[in-house]
Structure 1
Amino acid sequence: MKVRAITALFFVIVVLASIVLNGYVFTIFFVVLSSYCLNEFYRIIADETGRPNRLGGLVLGALSFGLYAAYCLGSLPVTYLLLIVPLTAAVFITSLYQKQAKPFADIAYTLLGVVYVILPFVSFFTLGFATTTAYDYRLPLGFMLILWGNDTGAYLVGRYFGRHRLFERISPKKTWEGLAGGVILALVASLVLAHYFPLLATWQWIGIALIISIFGTFGDLVESMLKRSQHVKDSGSVLPGHGGLLDRFDGLLLAAPAVVAFLKIVL
């Protein structure tokens, strides 16, 4: 338990620092983080039915993210984003030389990883530029605080008061009581953020909290489904007592794109 707490504290400090310092640190940290999560996904998904092109997928994901980040930071013209097209084509072309039994299964797994892991992190990155052309840390920071609040509320309430299973087939420990606890703490966090970060209206922060609670929970369940289908307990072991990085950001994978869609509609 002590190791788990120390790891969590160190992890939170590093993530918060990467968000708050400046746009370049934010970019580098999350490009590296998302690439590591993608590598964990490829390690989990690879089996006899298909083996993703790990190197090709990592290059495609990291460079695509990097190009988009450079554009957002004003360091690259928008036309350079077209380089993503030949990078994607390279995944197909590479399969011609690998002589795999099921090349299109390999291609599908490779591109699925980019869609499932990299695009959500790109969506999260976009939050830093959602209300201004220059980088603003407040929305990404608010997103993470609400997400962690939801996870903490769900864990504590579910552990001590959980009785009714939410999705026993996929995640036996999740309960409806835990879901309610997560939503309540996420809403509390959103009200605090609305007070200190008035770049959004209170109702918009509340909307973000509800979206993160719902889609974050489904994101957690989807990752659990992935691990259960592949007979894997954790996505990795980089975080002592916590498993892999993909385990820690599973809620973001569905929540971040949903929040970006919400903000595009209401702003």
Structure 2
Amino acid sequence: MKTRAITGFFFIIVMLASVLLGHYTFGAFYLILTLLCLHEFYGLNIKSGIEPNRLAGFVNAAFIYGVFAFITYNNNPLAYKLSLLLTFSISGIFIAELFKISVSPFNNIAYTLIGLILVCLPFTFFHALAYVQGSFNFHFPLGFLLMLWSNDTGAYLVGRAFGRTKLFERHSPKKTWEGFIGGVVVAALVGYVLSRYFTELEWKQWMSVGIIIGCFGTLGDLVESMFKRSINIKDSGGILPGHGGLLDRFDGLLIAAPIVYTYLYFVVKP
């Protein structure tokens, strides 16, 4: 418990610093985090006998993140032209498999691409949250993290105290409907508090973001649990003592970040 608490404390400090130290630090930190999470994902697949093309995956992840970071940063037409180069880099994943001796080449291709979809794209959308108004604004990614953490905390505390009805026992035996509802309510309340300080959105919009994070963050957690159970792994890694791997800490972001960005971009239009 002591190790878990110490790790959690420093983890929160690092995460807050990554958002507050400006857009260069923000962009670089989440690019590194994307590659580390992708490395963890591919490593888990290798343990289960699948051979994803890690080099091609890392190159494509860095390219996808970089190009769309460039687009969200200054909306330069050149960035859109660069995005067309993805046709070459992604094709390389398929072409490289021609030169490997493998029993299941399309499994390798599929899991290489799944890593980009499941890991790289969510972090790309999370990075884009900071630029949803055009210029860099740390309020949106910071608010996202605070509501995501509050959802996890609320779900744990309410589920531990009142949890009776299993939410999705096949994939996560400890999660309950009571905990899920408690997490969503706490995230929405944190959204309301944020609206008092981060005035870019109205209170009902911040609360809506909290509800989205509570719902889709839980689904992301369940999807990661489903993946780990499919390959008989308890934790995605051991980089965070007492907490498991990076994917275990960011599973709530995997589905929630793209949905929140879509909500802000198309519905709220701040």
Unaligned runs of 5+ in 2: none
Aligned mates of 2:62, 2:13 — CA distance in 1: 24
Counterpart for residue 233 of structure 1: 234
CA–CA distance in 2 between the matches of 1:16 and 1:63?
Answer: 25
Task: Provide structure 1 residue ranges, at least 5 long, that are not aligned to the other structure.
Answer: none
Runs of 4+, deviation exceeding 6 Å: none
Corresponding residue to 1:120 among 119, 122, 131: 122
Contact 1:49 / 1:105 at 8 angstroms: preserved in 2?
Answer: no
2:239 matches 1:248: no
Whole-angstrom CA distance in 2 between matches of 1:257 and 1:183: 18
* TM-score of the aligned structures, taking structure 2 as reference length: 0.94
Deviation track 1:111-143 (CA, whole Å, cap 9, x = no partner) reads 111001100111111101111x22111100000
What corresponds to 2:147 in structure 1? 146
- Residue of structure 2 equivalent to 1:85: 87
TM-score by length of 1: 0.95
Aligned residues: 266
Relative to structure 2, which stretch is displaced further, 122-131 or 239-248?
A: 122-131
Secondary structure at 2:130 match in 1: helix
Of stretches 44-53 and 225-234 in structure 1, the one that deviates more from structure 2 is: 44-53
Take 2:57 and 2:73, find their aligned partners in 1: how far apart are those partners? 24
Deviation string for 1:163-209 (max 9, x for gaps)? 22111111111111111210121011100111100101111111111
What is the identity percentage for the equivalent residue pairs of Structure 1 and Structure 2?
50
1:1-267 aligned at under 5 Å gives the runs 1-46=1-46, 50-74=50-74, 77-78=78-79, 79-131=81-133, 133-266=134-267, 267=269
Q: Which moved more, 1:100-109 or 1:70-79?
A: 70-79
Is the contact between residue 23 and residue 73 of structure 1 (CA under 8 Å) also seen in structure 2?
Answer: no
Shift of residue 44, structure 1, vs aligned partner: 1.8
* Letter paired with 1:33: L
Local SS of the residue matching 1:166? strand
Q: CA deviation at 1:47?
A: 5.8
